[in-house]
Structure 1
């Protein structure tokens, strides 16, 4: 098996362990579920070489029945047919504006909020382009199981900020001039797909 297969196994084991720890009433079963949780953390440690002390709190933060996290990404093109990207301070690489969905906000509201926070621009949401499962795409390993929502947005106001709390640069790029990508957030093939949508507005929503 490759690393992607092992990562999927680790995530599934952790999901089963957290559900068991939440709902089991047997002391014996609780011990077994805790052991399964620790095994899954060890697998991820071996895959990523990150310290167990760092992985465990992230990987086991959700208690009970685990469900995928939702990552909302805004797709914004300018009149020159270039796509808006932000340079992430956390890794110095570039991504579409966006982030984790917030409880209490709709996906559209999250997209609008993230664009404002990361770029200074005001946008409206036009349509959903794609819902992608990260396991189906060449992202680096990470603890969470994630669905990615790509949402087409239109600029309505505001001015591009030079720097925000999370980003150090904001700029538009053509497909042939993309900067180094923050691949945990978006891959080259996903950006290619966004340009396909731009060229063909009638293209149907893609669902993994």
Structure 2
């Protein structure tokens, strides 16, 4: 659901990065470098960002490009859902973030909930695996998959972390202002369907 120009830029970037990773021919590599430059120029033209920032963010990776994985924890208490207030935009999201190398999705979300909300937690169920391109998020420079895992609090106490400035539990019909790059209202409402029906099947795409 991203803007078409961004989809094209990301595809050109992915193809050029893969070509640079596997091609040994010097002339092919020059062509792939040119494609990568075109992708950053497209980003600069439509975003107004400095070229250096775009290159740092968008065109400095190596190896075959794959979607980035974002994992989010879903914790219910008294028919309310746990959310944290992000320092980066003063808006609210489910606790979570990028999956770290060396940790499973379950291990990642346990770490994220502890760091961002102060609670000890145990993963219970995979609720959804979403392709952000198919949901109403703002345009993103990368292709993301989002993993939503229901967790049970086992200890700890609610407190903010380095990247958060508030925590709270919210009712479905009284959600705070959401950080829509991380989660949308429709996604949060979908999660409440699992609260009402624990037998609901995992959602994907």
Q: TM-score range by the shorter chain?
A: over 0.9
- Count of equivalent residues: 205
Structure 1 partner of 2:170 = 173
Structure 2 partner of 1:204 = 201
Question: What do the CA deviations read for 1:139-171 (whole angstroms, capped 9, x no partner)?
Answer: 11121111000000011111001x310100000
Retained in 2: the 8 A contact 1:132–1:149? yes
More displaced, 54-63 or 66-75? 54-63
| Partner Cα distance (2:132, 2:2) in 1 | 14
Normalising by the residue count of structure 2, what TM-score does the alignment of the two structures yield?
A: 0.96
Retained in 2: the 8 A contact 1:55–1:143? no
| Partner Cα distance (1:71, 1:115) in 2 | 13
| Partner Cα distance (1:96, 1:46) in 2 | 32
Matched, 1:187 2:184: yes
| Partner Cα distance (1:197, 1:102) in 2 | 27
| Partner Cα distance (1:44, 1:69) in 2 | 19
| Partner Cα distance (1:207, 1:47) in 2 | 31
Retained in 2: the 8 A contact 1:10–1:44? yes
More displaced, 177-186 or 108-117? 177-186
| Partner Cα distance (1:86, 1:15) in 2 | 32
CA RMSD across the alignment: 1.3
Question: What do the CA deviations read for 1:65-92 (whole angstroms, capped 9, x no partner)?
Answer: 11111000000010x2000000000111
Question: What do the CA deviations read for 1:66-124 (whole angstroms, capped 9, x no partner)?
Answer: 1111000000010x200000000011110000000011000000010000000110010
Structure 2 partner of 1:25 = 24
Structure 1, unpaired ranges of 5+: none
